[in-house]
Structure 1
Amino acid sequence: MDEEGLRKTAADCAEGLPGAGLEHPFGPEWDVYKVRDKVFMLMTDVPGRPVVILKADPVDAAALREQYADITPGYHMNKKHWITLEGGNTLDEKLARELVTDSYRLVVGRLPKSRQPVDPHTYGRLV
């Protein structure tokens, strides 16, 4: 998937998540998606390349970086808990959507139960 396709897929997915919203706290060059004031996705350009930055479980993040050339440690974020997706031929739309939803679920799961817009243990999972 090319860079613009990746960004569009990630943005479309994030905008459809319950309680999610787009903000620009770092200026117009950073799209920051939050749920209940907690960041789960960032999009920006890293010298000339659009990227999507997502929260990930540390074990999953390490495995993803090993398996996919277009997934690297989180740009300007904790390298253990965040990953960066770049456009390329190793990522597809389904994987991008899964990773955005996983990032959202991780953040929702750390919110107090009364503030969770969905059950993070079941939301978006195939039953």
Structure 2
Amino acid sequence: MNIEQFREYCISKKGVEETFPFGEDMLVFKVMGKMFALTGLETHPATANLKCDPERAIALREEYYGLIRPGYHMSKVHWNTVELERNIPNELLLEMIDHSYDLVLKSLTKKLQAELKKS
């Protein structure tokens, strides 16, 4: 998956906005104001940070050793850094984006969840 495909998939999700709160080379995706994905636009190979259930994060890091690592500059428990353009199946990358998005949705207040459903 290249960086353009990653971006297109992230922004296709309901309620997502893309922002640059950490500078013009760090693209951040938020749902209802909460971050679920970010990627550096100048990193090679392309990587992304995605939120992940802690137990699942460990399993993915073991299965894809070197390609999925503890989140760079993020909570090592709840975030993974994932190499986008290497040997991780696209289906898994899409599922990891969905998982990150869903974790953030579940953490939203009921009011924000209802607001998102209406939009």
TM-score (normalised: structure 2): 0.87
Large movers: runs of 4+ above 4 Å = none
Out of 74, 88, 106, which is 2:86 matched to?
Answer: 88
CA contact (8 A) 1:14 1:20 kept: yes
- Please tell me the residue identity of whatever aligns with 1:65: R
| Greater helix content | 2
Task: Give the aligned partner of residue 40 of structure 2.
Answer: 44
Alpha-carbon RMSD: 1.6
- Please tell me the residue identity of whatever aligns with 2:48: V
Does residue 29 (structure 1) correspond to residue 25 (structure 2)? The answer is: yes
Task: Give the aligned partner of residue 12 of structure 2.
Answer: 16
Q: CA deviation at 1:113?
A: 1.4
Q: CA deviation at 1:93?
A: 1.2
Q: Which blocks of at least 5 consecutive residues in structure 2 are unaligned? A: none
Q: Please state whether the residue corresponding to 1:49 is helix, strand or coil.
A: coil
Distance 1:22 1:15 in 2: 7
Q: Which blocks of at least 5 consecutive residues in structure 1 are unaligned? A: 119-127
TM-score (normalised: structure 1): 0.82
